[in-house]
Amino acid sequence: MRLLTLLTVAILALSACGGDGDDASRTSSPERTAQNSPAPASPAAASSPGTAAAAPGDLDAAGAAALKAVPNSTLISIETEGSGWEVQTVTADGTEHELMVNADGSQIIRNDTKQEDAEDKAKHQERVKAAKIDYSEAAQKMHSAVPNAQITELNLDTWRGTTVWEGDLQTSDGAKHSVKIDAGSGKVLLP
């Protein structure tokens, strides 16, 4: 009887921990959701068409902070990471810097230089040279293509031989969207 009681207590304790071992189920737990919850939007931002419905912070401010921390660089990637932003910038010589910026862009948490070979640096330089619109302009176009969505990831990349800004967006109802913007012309390639 005592063994049965101990087993019952152990089973109840384990089930109270939640999760079934599936990583996907843990990403939507209340703790994870709270960690990624947005900062309160200003009334103006909430009513403006094409703005993010529930951004986990300020993409533009985080991007600007990263660019200030790495002078004379170009932002090539920004994505939500926990309650902040992971940002990658490239200097004129193709050197990539990876930064962690807090949600509102007020603090650089980490600033690392990646060690890359000449081929990777050349790829960065080629993409940066081909891009006529920056991350902020690409984000505005994505918000126009998918109104009331938050950008969770934005990267400068090559798609079908064209330099593009690739973005992942999510609307307040949880729907996910991928958008590609031609980085040379600014044309939306995929809504």
pLDDT averaged over 10-residue windows placed end to end, the chain, 191 residues: 38 37 31 29 32 58 96 97 95 96 94 92 96 96 93 96 96 95 93 53
Whether 113 and 95 have beta carbons less than 8 Å apart is answered as yes
pTM of whole model > 0.85?
no
Cα distance between residue 120 and residue 122, in whole Å:
5
Q: Collapsing DSSP states into helix, strand and coil, what is residue 144?
A: helix
Strands (E) located in 17-174: 73-81, 84-91, 96-102, 108-113, 149-159, 162-171
Domain ranges of the chain: 49-190
Cβ neighbours, 10 Å, residue 94: 18
Whether the CA torsion 145, 150, 152, 155 is positive or negative: it is: positive
Amino acid at 178: S
Residue 189's pLDDT is 92
Q: What are phi and psi of 95, to 5 degrees?
A: -75, 130
**What's the CA dihedral at 78, 80, 86, 89 to 10 degrees?**
0
Output the six-digit token pair for 15. Answer: 């089930």
Residue 115's pLDDT is 87
